[in-house]
Chain A
Amino acid sequence: MAGSPAIRFRQASVVYPSGVRGLDRLDLDIPHGDLVVIVGLSGAGKSTMLRAVNGLVTITGGDVEVEGRSVRSSRGKALRELRAGAGMIFQDYRIVRRLSVLQNVLVGRVARVPTWRQLIGMWPKEDVELAFDSLDRVGLVDRAYVKAGQLSGGQQQRVGIARALAQKPSVILADEPVASLDPVTSRRVMEDLRRINQDLGITTLVNLHFLDLAKEYAERIIGLSQGRLVFDGAGGDVTEGDFAEIYGRHMTADDVLEAQVAL
Chain B
Amino acid sequence: MSPRPEAPARTRRHLLTAAAVLFVLGLTVWSANGIGVSLVELFSNLGRMGRLIDDSFPPAWSFWPRLIKPLLETLQIAIIGTIFGSILALPLAILAARTVSPSRPLYWLNRNIMNVLRTMPDLFWAMLFASAVGFGPFAGALALTVFTVAVVSKLTSESIESIDMKLTEAVRASGGNWLETVFFSVLPQALPQYVSYVLYALELNVRASTVLGLVGAGGIGMVLNTQRTTFQYDRVTMIVLFVFLVVMLIEQLSAAARRRLV
Contact = CB atoms under 8 A, between A and B. Distances in A.
Could you say which interface size class chain B belongs to?
20 to 34
A179 interface: no
Query: Among the interface residues B170, B171, B177, which one has the most CB atoms of the partner chain A within 10 A?
Result: B170
Give the interface SS of chain B, mostly helix, strand, loop or mixed. helix
Could you say which interface size class chain A belongs to?
20 to 34
Contacts of A92: 166
A118 B183 CA distance: 9
A108 interface: yes
A115 B174 contact: no
A250 B189 CA distance: 44
Contacts of A103: 184
Given A94-B166, A94-B167, A96-B189, A83 B180 contact: no
A163 B171 CA distance: 10
Query: Among the interface residues B167, B173, B179, B189, which one has the most CB atoms of the partner chain A within 10 A?
Result: B173
Query: Among the interface residues B166, B172, B174, B184, which one has the most CB atoms of the partner chain A within 10 A?
Result: B174
A115 B179 CA distance: 8
A99 B171 CA distance: 13
Interface string A9-38: 000000000000000000000000000000
A118 B177 CA distance: 12
Query: Among the interface residues A81, A82, A94, A118, which one has the most CB atoms of the partner chain B within 10 A?
Result: A94
B185 A84 contact: no
Given A107-B184, A110-B184, A95 B170 contact: yes
Interface in A71-99: 80-88, 90, 92, 94-96, 98-99
A200 B189 CA distance: 34
A110 B170 CA distance: 11
Contact of B177 (A80, A86, A99, A108): A80
A218 to B, nearest CB: 23
Nearest to B178: A115
Nearest to A80: B175
A168 B185 CA distance: 21
Contact of A88 (B170, B185, B188): B170
Given A88-B170, A98-B189, A99-B188, A119 B183 contact: yes
B179 A83 contact: no
A111 interface: yes
Interface in B194-250: none
Contact of B175 (A96, A99, A111, A118): A111
A54 interface: yes
Given A83-B172, A118-B183, A119-B183, A96 B177 contact: no
Contacts of A151: none
Nearest to A54: B173
B91 interface: no
B54 interface: no
Given A84-B175, A110-B176, A96 B188 contact: yes
Given A92-B166, A94-B169, A107-B170, A80 B176 contact: yes
A75 B66 CA distance: 66
B166 A107 contact: no
A110 B175 CA distance: 7
Contacts of A203: none
A167 B175 CA distance: 9
Contacts of A87: 174
A56 interface: yes
30 contacts: A54-B173, A80-B175, A80-B177, A81-B175, A83-B175, A86-B173, A88-B170, A90-B170, A94-B169, A96-B167, A96-B184, A96-B185, A96-B188, A96-B189, A98-B188, A107-B170, A107-B171, A110-B174, A110-B176, A110-B184, A111-B176, A115-B177, A115-B179, A118-B180, A118-B183, A119-B179, A119-B183, A160-B170, A163-B174, A167-B175
The 5 closest A-B pairs by CB, nearest first: A111-B175, A84-B175, A94-B170, A110-B176, A83-B175
Given A80-B175, A83-B174, A95-B170, 9 more contacts: A54-B173, A84-B174, A92-B166, A94-B170, A95-B167, A98-B191, A110-B171, A115-B177, A164-B174
